[in-house]
Amino acid sequence: MPRKPEARDKLLAAFEHLVLTEGERAATLDAVAAQAGVSKGGLLYHFPHRQALVDAAMARCEELAREDLDRLTASPAGAAREFLTTSLYEDSPLDRSLGVAFRLVQAREPGARETCERVTGDWYGVILADVRDPVIATAVLSMGDGLYQQAAMGLLPEDSRERHAILDRLLEALDRLTGSHPAD
């Protein structure tokens, strides 16, 4: 009888949790199994080795990023404005998945860098299609990445109004760069 798909998701969530809270070295097969509350044999059924966990985490990151890409592309405000607006780290599934990817890149895990390059390249592509200038697209990507990093590290003001005031200033800068005005 095949195992429930929830077990695989639980194991992947445990891997993600360990990488984010204790570092990628702490995310051993034994630790992941213990965190998920399953036997090591149960873990090995779904992920026969640690690289399989890394690969699954990167596939999940790309899947969540594709969903985000669809949302950016469909935004009436435009992909560039939407990218900046959603660059405040909110501890969403995508935020956590990106955090795992970034940590795995730092640990030189195979496949993680390529995942981050694809995700960033896809975001750049939709932003470029929106603003139609590679320099502005790079600036938007850099502004969003900087805002995201500051928010993820807790370096932005705690007050929501102050955080959004920073975002508003970045959106004003975007409008100046593109010579456009937001839709009313």
Alpha carbons within 13 angstroms on the beta-carbon side of residue 45 total 15
183 pLDDT tier (thresholds 50, 70, 90): low
182 pLDDT tier (thresholds 50, 70, 90): low
pLDDT at 160: 85
90 pLDDT tier (thresholds 50, 70, 90): confident
pLDDT at 23: 95
pLDDT at 93: 95
pLDDT at 80: 97
pLDDT at 153: 86
DSSP string, 129-160: HHH--HHHHHHHHHHHHHHHHHHHTT-S-SSH
Q: Look at residues 154, 165, 166 and name the one whose alpha carbon lies nearest to residue 90.
A: 154
Q: Cα–Cα distances in Å, from 81 out to 26, 59, 126, 128, 137?
A: 38, 27, 11, 12, 11
29-78: pLDDT as tens digits: 999 999 999 999 999 999 999 999 999 999 999 999 999 999 999 999 99
CB-based contact 100:20 (threshold 8 Å): yes
pLDDT of 178 over the 50 cut: yes
180 pLDDT tier (thresholds 50, 70, 90): confident
pLDDT of 177 over the 90 cut: yes
pLDDT at 184: 45
Cα–chain center distance at 10: 19
95-133: pLDDT as tens digits: 999 999 999 999 999 899 999 999 999 999 999 999 999
- What average pLDDT does this structure show over 79-104? 93
Sequence letter at residue 165: A
157-176: pLDDT as tens digits: 888 899 889 999 999 999 99
